[in-house]
A = this chain, B = another copy of it.
Amino acid sequence: MSYIMKLREASESIDRRILNTALDLFVECGYYNVSVHDIQKQANVSIGSIYNHFGGKEGIAKALYYHVLSEMEELVNSVVAQKLGAVESCNQLIRLLFEQTESQRNTISFVLHAKHREFLPEEPPVCSATPFKAMRDIVQTGMANGEIRQCDPWVAAANVFGGAIRMIHLRLDGVIEQPLPTFYEELLKVTWQGMEVNQG
């Protein structure tokens, strides 16, 4: 083990080391392709510690799930706290999500890309969690105050964020090869003004 690694381990709590390692492995290989031993080895902790701290593999996944959800919630709250208009709030959210897809790839991947129901069957689906509700609420507010065209709430939310989320998926799958912020301005333009060529 390198000196750098030792330093890093000393600076991180054992819990964090387990969670960080698990996040990397789950995202890279998929939950069911990762064994407790894999996590144990890569995190340089004993298997006993893992069972003491989290009670098992599913315990790790659950802790991780709530951890990344709370990070997501922070992100949404940081935008809401600015009290911008609805449209501008959505834009900031998309900008932050695009940036974090590049800088915090695995966190975003675990929130937006993982199929939690498969390994955490008891938990509610992500999209019904608070940060996602908050995103839909922002759109709702915009419709109420006339910033955003009136329409069905699901349609509105899917249209505002659907394009961005689709691009995040494609980026995480390696299909899009440029960093997402490259597309930010252009995406906003078509999202708000539409795809149809203006007549006259």
Q: Which A positions have Cβ atoms within 8 angstroms of B?
A: 29-33, 87, 113-115, 117-119, 125, 127-128, 146-149, 151-152, 154-156, 158-167, 169-170, 173-176, 183, 186-187, 189-197
Contact = CB atoms under 8 A, between A and B. Distances in A.
B33 A118 contact: yes
> A interface, by DSSP: helix, strand, loop or mixed?
helix
How many monomers of this chain does the complex have?
2
A189 B151 contact: yes
B127 A170 contact: yes
Given A32-B32, A170-B154, A196-B149, A159 B127 contact: no
Contacts of A160: 195
B197 A147 contact: yes
B159 A191 contact: yes
A152 B195 CA distance: 12
Contacts of A174: 125
Interface centre among A147, A162, A197 (most CB of B within 10 A): A162
